[in-house]
Amino acid sequence: MLGIDPGLTRCGVGVVDVASDRSARLVHVGVVRSDPGEPIERRLATIAAGIRAVIDEHAPAVVAVERVFSQHNRQSVMGTAQASGIALLIAGERGLAAATHTPTEVKAAVTGYGAADKRQVQLMVARILRLDEIPQPADAADALALALCHAWRGGGQAATTGAQLTPAQRAWADAERLARR
């Protein structure tokens, strides 16, 4: 399970291995950085190359990306949205299932409490993965929280999107999607 906390300056990437008993093991954690002094098209290419390298090395089955909201009215939101698009694009081009989760979903999944603060989430991530320290920087810990969230919400066994579904699963997911319209 690959979790991605999208960002243009720092894009958190975390890979965890989650067993059927919900126990989890840290596989990889890091941050892909791009230089704010570079043109946007080269920054996005740097982020894309970093994400592809993680997928090449760790071959995750699913990619979970934090959902970005437009109500944060800051310039950086657009860069974050662009980085999230890149992460989802790469998943799509590799034929990997992808999913997005809101920060509230991630907090609730990891701490049991949707309004938990960032520090609580990071402490729980370290505890769940039996790490001596909180992964740094924060974007890296957030990426791990996303991966754990997705695995625990059933994403590991039954993702509702993506190319990893069996034909029967896909037919079921399509029927569900139509019913929701």
Catalytic center residues:
5, 66, 139
* Number of other CB atoms surrounding residue 155 within 10 Å: 24
Mark 27-66 with x for binding to a copy of itself (rule: CB under 8 A) and - for no binding: ----------x-xxxxxxx--x--------------x---
Q: 6: helix, coil or strand? A: coil
Minimum Å gap between C-beta 174 and a copy of itself is: 8
* Number of other CB atoms surrounding residue 48 within 10 Å: 19
Check residue 148 for interaction with a copy of itself (CB under 8 A). Answer: no
Minimum Å gap between C-beta 82 and a copy of itself is: 3
With beta carbons less than 8 A apart as the criterion, state whether 15 and 27 touch: yes
Query: What is the C-alpha radius of gyration for the chain, rounded to an integer number of angstroms?
Result: 16
- Would the annotation count 174 as a binding residue? no
Q: How far apart are CA 76 and CA 87, in angstroms?
A: 17
- What does the binding site for a copy of itself look like in residue numbers (CB under 8 A)? 37, 39-45, 48, 63, 68-75, 77-78, 81-86, 88-89, 91-93, 96-98, 100, 161-163, 174, 177-178
